[in-house]
């Protein structure tokens, strides 16, 4: 309530405060350490971004975590992908993992993903993104044909929707919200219309697996429905009760991601709406 009053009296300052909060990751130290130790090799991509690499088999998998998170959340999936078959690459955008740089935002995530793809300089068999990592990965893949398969877990439909949700949480006044959105556009370096992932999804021509929980409190479930409708070639897995992060630790979700990575998905055998998971192809 105090911030609501602050935003009415001093909308420009309140917008600046909201922008700083929205661009300052808060990664739990334990997760940061797990994320750094996940790979065998750490590559400095420049600009505050890093890439963890686990050398292995011929198939290449790229992992991109979410905001204020870390690739340590992918540990169950990493364990499910045998090194004999897969070489893993995990992106650490600025402000995450080993990066000492504090400020980060979707633009920095996009730059980190692009830098990782330039470094790898080879086709990616599967790219997996979670939360903001899913949205920014979809943005990059819509412009880049080097990714063969894509999995979007708990991803947003638009970044404007996430920012407006944050604005409601902070109880910004209408004037402060308008200035907050404008400041975020200036900070990210892209208009919010360019970060409409549902619009960009129409340009993604590779098989895409959308995974989302119906009770996700951070990224609304409706985002998954919008993405599935927009993607030309998609399958989906909808869960119930796993939330935003725990979905990456669920054994059934991990098994389906591992199957998708192995390109041996047989969606006809998956349970439909009457079960915990609903899957479909379009």
What was the pLDDT predicted at 36? Answer: 78
What was the pLDDT predicted at 268? Answer: 37
Phi, psi (degrees; rounded to nearest 5) at 172: -70, 145
Identify which has the larger pLDDT, 190 or 35: 190
What was the pLDDT predicted at 244? Answer: 96
- Write down the CATH number for the domain with range 34-157+200-263: 3.40.50.1820
What was the pLDDT predicted at 138? Answer: 97
* Whether pLDDT at 266 is above 50: no
As beta bridge partners, residue 41 has 53
236 burial level (CB within 10 Å; 0-12, 13-18, 19+): buried
* Whether pLDDT at 220 is above 80: yes
Phi, psi (degrees; rounded to nearest 5) at 38: -70, -35
* Whether pLDDT at 29 is above 80: yes
What average pLDDT does the segment 173-183 reach? 95
DSSP letter (8 states) at residue 248:
G
Write the CB contacts of 95 (distance below 8 Å, at least 6 apart in sequence).
24, 25, 27, 48, 101, 102, 103, 104, 108
What was the pLDDT predicted at 39? Answer: 78
Please give the share of the chain, as a percent, with pLDDT higher than 90.
79
**Virtual torsion, Cα 65, 201, 124, 238, nearest 10 deg:** 60
What average pLDDT does the segment 12-32 reach? 92
Write the CB contacts of 168 (distance below 8 Å, at least 6 apart in sequence).
none
DSSP letter (8 states) at residue 194:
G
Between helix 174-188 and helix 2-9 the angle, nearest 10°, is 80
Name the band, by pLDDT with cuts 50, 70 and 90, for residue 6: confident
Q: For the chain, what is the mean pLDDT?
A: 89
What was the pLDDT predicted at 264? Answer: 39
> Using one digit for the tens of pLDDT, what is the confidence trace for 110-157?
999 999 999 999 999 999 999 999 999 999 999 888 999 999 999 999
Q: Where in the chain are the domains?
A: 34-157+200-263
């Amino acid at each position: 309530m105090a911030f609501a009053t602050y935003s009415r009296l001093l909308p420009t300052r309140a917008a600046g405060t909201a922008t700083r909060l929205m661009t300052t990751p808060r990664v739990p130290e334990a997760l940061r350490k797990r994320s750094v130790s996940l790979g065998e090799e750490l590559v400095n991509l420049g600009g505050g971004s890093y890439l963890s690499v686990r050398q292995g088999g011929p198939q290449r998998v790229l992992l991109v975590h979410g905001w204020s998170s870390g690739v340590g959340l992918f540990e169950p999936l990493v364990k499910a992908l045998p090194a004999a078959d897969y070489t893993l690459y995990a992106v650490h955008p600025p402000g995450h993992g080993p990066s000492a740089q504090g400020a980060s935002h979707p633009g920095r995530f996009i730059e980190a993903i692009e830098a990782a793809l330039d470094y790898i300089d080879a086709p990616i068999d599967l790219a997996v993104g979670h939360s903001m990592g899913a949205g920014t990965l979809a943005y990059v893949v819509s412009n880049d044909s080097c990714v063969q398969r894509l999995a979007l877990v708990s991803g947003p439909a638009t970044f404007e929707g996430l920012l407006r949700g944050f604005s409601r949480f902070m109880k910004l006044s209408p004037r402060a919200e308008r200035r907050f959105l404008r400041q975020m556009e200036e900070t990210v370096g892209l208009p919010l219309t360019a970060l409409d992932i549902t619009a960009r999804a129409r340009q993604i021509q590779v098989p895409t697996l959308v995974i989302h929980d119906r009770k996700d409190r951070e990224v609304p479930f409706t985002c998954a429905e919008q993405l599935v409708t927009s993607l030309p070639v998609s399958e989906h897995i909808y869960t119930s009760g796993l939330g935003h992060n725990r979905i990456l630790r669920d054994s059934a979700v991990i098994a389906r991601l591992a199957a998708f990575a192995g390109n041996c998905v047989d969606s006809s055998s998956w349970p439909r709406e009457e079960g915990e998971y609903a899957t479909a192809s379009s």
